[in-house]
Every structure is written in C-alpha cells, then in structure tokens.
C-alpha cells in the first residue's frame, strides 16, 4: 500500500468517524433542547430569556453542523471511488436520528401525552430518511459484491427511440452478431476478445461502421450508454464479435 493510499484511508476513516460524531452531537443536543420544552436561548441580550439553553448546547449545535459538513467532504475526497457514494448515507443517518427524537418526544411514551407538534416533523423526517435508502442501498450492495453499478448484462434494458432497447444485448440490433441467448453465459468479467482480422461488418439497415460509431457516440454522450456498454458496443460494431 502506497503512502498516498494510507493517507487516503486515514482521511476516509476520520471523515466517517467525524460525520458520525457530528450527527450524534446534533441528536444529543436536540434531545437536550427538547427536554427543556423545545425552544431555548442563550447569550447577552436586551430581551429577557424565558428558557436558558442547556450549557454548551448553543455553540455545540452550530459547530457540529459545520464540522459534520467538513468531515463529510473529507470522507468524500479520501474514499475510494466505489465508496464515495456512501457519503449519501449521512442524509438518512441525520434525518432518521432527528426524526426518532421528534417521534420519541411526540408519542405518549415519555410519561406525557402525544404532541402533534413533534409528531408531524418526526414522521416527515423518518420519511425523508428512509426513502433515499431504497435508491442507494441496492447500488451499494452491488458495489460491495464487486458488480459494476450498471452492468452491461443488466436485465432491465433502457429504451431509446432511435435505437430501441439499449443495455440488453439480446434485444439490441447493434448486437445482432453477439452469441444467441441460449448460449451458456461466459464469465461475467472475461477479458475482451482479441480483435479479428475479418473485414468490418456493415451494421443493420445498410449503415456503415462510421455511422454506427457516430450513433453510439451520440448515445454515449446522451447518457443512454454507460462506459462499459459503449466500449462493448464499439467492439461489436468494429470487430463484429461482441465481448
């Protein structure tokens, strides 16, 4: 492991620990404010303060917010490419922990009656924390298992008006020369096939290789093809063999 990688690992670990610490302090600070009624004030002021904030909370909360953002940036900059997306987990962690606080003080489980004023933000925060998990967790599990985020063998093809289904080789006319679907699948990450010396095939509809390549480049620019799909498609057009 090179020194650069060691520094990045340490930065990533410090970033993750710092974000966790910042969210924990925010949550604890919020609970201490909820304990005194949900609102408080502190400092020198011409106004009379009805409820003093618990000691230290008035500066801990803003500092933890900015420090947490800083640690999140540190984590994002230092984490390896596959781990950067984990930074998004700070959002559910923040909203679920604060939402739980609201719910705990809103529901009649702390020796007092239900408080709708805490229940509404509690439910809202829980929803805001849970919903993103449905979108980010599958990708993280794929990354953990070593599968590319959008595999060329994705069972869900994308629809493109000019190219039909893109992303599923069996249904895409650009991959007409790929092995038929009843062929046993090969290893998922097999190295690319060596180029053959046969003359470049002509694409469907009589278009030549250049036109096909330009069309693929346009699809790639538009985001309809990811990098892996684009490379595979180029090989299929140029060498006629697919991957």
Find the shortest distance in angstroms from Cβ 21 to another protein.
Answer: 4
| Distance in angstroms (rounded) separating the CA atoms of residues 6 and 67 | 23
Residue ranges in 40-79 that form contacts with another protein under rule CB under 8 A:
54-57, 60
Residue 20 in the binding site for another protein (CB under 8 A): yes
Question: How far from each other are the two terminal CA atoms of the chain, in whole angstroms?
Answer: 32
| Distance in angstroms (rounded) separating the CA atoms of residues 125 and 142 | 27
Angle (CA) 186 172 165, round 5°: 115
49, 73, 77, 144: residue in contact with another protein (rule CB under 8 A): 144
**Residue environment code for 37-60, b if the CB has 16+ CB neighbours within 10 A, otherwise e:** eeebeeeeeeeeeeeebbeebbeb
| Distance in angstroms (rounded) separating the CA atoms of residues 26 and 127 | 19
Taking the least distance from each CB to another protein, the nearer of 34 and 225 is 34
Cα–Cα separations (whole angstroms), residue 164 to 1, 168, 181, 224 = 46, 10, 18, 11
Count the site residues for another protein by CB under 8 A.
29
Find the shortest distance in angstroms from Cβ 14 to another protein.
Answer: 7
Residue 162 in the binding site for another protein (CB under 8 A): no
Find the shortest distance in angstroms from Cβ 71 to another protein.
Answer: 9
Stretch that binds another protein, among 82-90, 123-131, 166-174, 219-227 (CB under 8 A): 82-90
Find the shortest distance in angstroms from Cβ 192 to another protein.
Answer: 23
Find the shortest distance in angstroms from Cβ 55 to another protein.
Answer: 5
Report whether 94 contacts 128 (CB < 8 A): no
Taking the least distance from each CB to another protein, the nearer of 68 and 167 is 68
Residue 204 in the binding site for another protein (CB under 8 A): no
Query: What does residue 158 show for φ and ψ, rounded to 5 degrees?
Result: -90, 145
Residue 16 in the binding site for another protein (CB under 8 A): yes
Taking the least distance from each CB to another protein, the nearer of 20 and 69 is 20
Residue 21 in the binding site for another protein (CB under 8 A): yes
Report whether 143 contacts 134 (CB < 8 A): no
Taking the least distance from each CB to another protein, the nearer of 148 and 164 is 148
| Distance in angstroms (rounded) separating the CA atoms of residues 86 and 83 | 5
24, 151, 160, 211: residue in contact with another protein (rule CB under 8 A): 24
Query: What does residue 146 show for φ and ψ, rounded to 5 degrees?
Result: 90, 10
48, 145, 156, 161: residue in contact with another protein (rule CB under 8 A): 145
Per CB under 8 A, residues contacting another protein are 9, 12-14, 16-22, 24-25, 28-29, 32, 54-57, 60, 80, 82-83, 86, 143-146
């Amino acid at each position: 492991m090179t020194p650069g990688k060691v520094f990045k690992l340490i930065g990533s670990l410090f970033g993750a620990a710092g974000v966790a610490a910042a969210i924990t302090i925010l949550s604890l600070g919020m609970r201490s404010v909820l304990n005194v009624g949900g609102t408080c004030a502190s400092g020198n002021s011409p106004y009379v303060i009805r409820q003093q904030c618990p000691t230290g909370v008035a500066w801990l909360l803003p500092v933890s917010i900015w420090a947490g953002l800083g640690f999140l940036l540190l984590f994002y900059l230092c984490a390896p490419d596959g781990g950067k997306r984990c930074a998004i987990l700070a959002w559910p962690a923040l909203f679920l922990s604060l939402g739980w606080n609201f719910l705990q003080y809103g529901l009649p489980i702390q020796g007092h009656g239900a408080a709708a004023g805490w229940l509404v933000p509690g439910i809202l925060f829980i929803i805001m924390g849970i919903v993103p998990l449905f979108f980010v967790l599958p990708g993280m599990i794929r990354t953990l298992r070593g599968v590319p985020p959008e595999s060329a063998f994705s069972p869900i093809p994308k629809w493109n008006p000019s190219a039909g289904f893109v992303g599923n080789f069996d249904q895409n006319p650009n991959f007409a020369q790929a092995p038929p679907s009843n062929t046993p699948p090969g290893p998922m990450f097999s190295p690319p096939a060596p180029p053959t010396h046969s003359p470049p095939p002509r694409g469907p509809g009589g278009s030549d290789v250049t036109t096909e390549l330009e069309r693929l480049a346009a699809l790639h620019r538009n985001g309809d093809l990811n990098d892996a799909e684009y490379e595979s498609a180029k090989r299929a057009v140029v060498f006629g063999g697919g991957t």
